[in-house]
Amino acid sequence: MTAPLPSTPPPGTTARRNPWLTGRPLAQPPERHLYCFPHSGGLPGEYVRWGQQLPGTQVYGICPPGRGGRAAEPPLTDLDAVVRELLDDTEFVPPYDLFGHSLGALVAYEVTRELVARGRPLPERLIVSAFPAPNQARHATRLSDKPDDELVAALDERYGGIPPQIAADAELMALLLPVFRADLTLLDNYRHQTGEPLPVALEVLGGDADAVTAEDLEQWRQLSTKSVRVGRFPGGHFYFRDDPAPLLSVLARRT
């Protein structure tokens, strides 16, 4: 079972539970840390489980308001607010990497930009998955305003859909759809602000059958002054669900 983890307290203060961080604390002090940003409507537990296959790595799932243990909180619909509230509450512990899948890739990218702006310790790598470079023009149809049935159908068409066992549970869908809608509002309203490329190494990943194309991924090269590696794996938008090994091998790398 995952649970909120303590944040790093300022000197002379007591650690408190940080609602943004979900994970399974390691028995031994970790060698490194991996912070995972979930996809639209996603739960952090899906990513926390990877810690079992990444020895020495403390894996945290980022849990925004409105889901998981924070289901009673209203979800955020503005990316600036997500970034600000997360960083006001959370210190990322070096050495660390950030990983984001789909919408999570965009959030992790903007978090990294804000870390640079605040002069905070930076990740060794920003690992982004299944999302086009944010500085490119978006032409996708708005989804956040669609009625529930059209929204579910559009999610199925664009991203491969909601798992059948979840879609068949009316009560669970009633809880999840507001989270999907909030996340998609965040995405629909996003506008990239021009700035300096990141002084952080990038790993850019995707599935070879995803709607996010090889060219979409290659455009990330414009957004870093450090090394950029681009890789595609067999599969669609959630390529790692069928075979997590290739992604886990990237996450396990230390450079």
What pLDDT score was predicted for residue 220? Answer: 98
Q: Residue 143: its pLDDT value, please?
A: 82
Tell me if 174 is assigned to some domain.
no
The segments of the chain whose pLDDT lies below 70 read 1-16, 161, 255
Range 95-117 burial, b when 16+ CB lie within 10 A, else e: ebbbbbbbbbbbbbbbbbbebee
Task: Show the tokens assigned to 95.
Answer: 């050495």
Q: What is the mean pLDDT of the chain?
A: 89
Q: Which residues contact 201 (CB under 8 A, 6 or more apart)?
A: 124, 125, 126, 224, 226, 227, 228
**Overall domain count for the chain:** 1
Q: What is the pLDDT of residues 158-207, one digit of tens each?
A: 777 677 777 778 787 887 888 889 999 999 999 999 999 999 999 999 99
88, two tokens:
């006001």
Residue 188 counted as domain residue:
no
pLDDT at 168: 77
Give this prediction's pTM: 0.89
Give the pLDDT confidence score for residue 98 in this predicted structure: 98
Position 61 in a domain: yes
End-to-end alpha carbon distance in the chain: 30
Tell me which residue range forms the domain holding 121: 18-137+194-252
Q: What is the pLDDT of residue 15?
A: 45
Which residue, chain included where needed, has tokens 């912070």? 35
Q: Is residue 120 part of a domain?
A: yes
In this predicted structure, what is the pLDDT of residue 140? Answer: 74
Q: Are 13 and 76 in contact (CB under 8 A)?
A: no
User: Is 161 within a domain?
Assistant: no
Q: What is the CATH number of the domain that holds 55?
A: 3.40.50.1820
| Spatial contact of 54 and 158, defined as CB atoms under 8 Å apart | no
Domain for residue 239, yes or no? Answer: yes
pLDDT for position 147: 86
In a domain, 148, yes or no: no
Decide if 47 is inside a domain.
yes
Q: Phi-psi category of 90—alpha, beta or left, where left has phi over 0 and alpha has psi -120 to 50?
A: beta
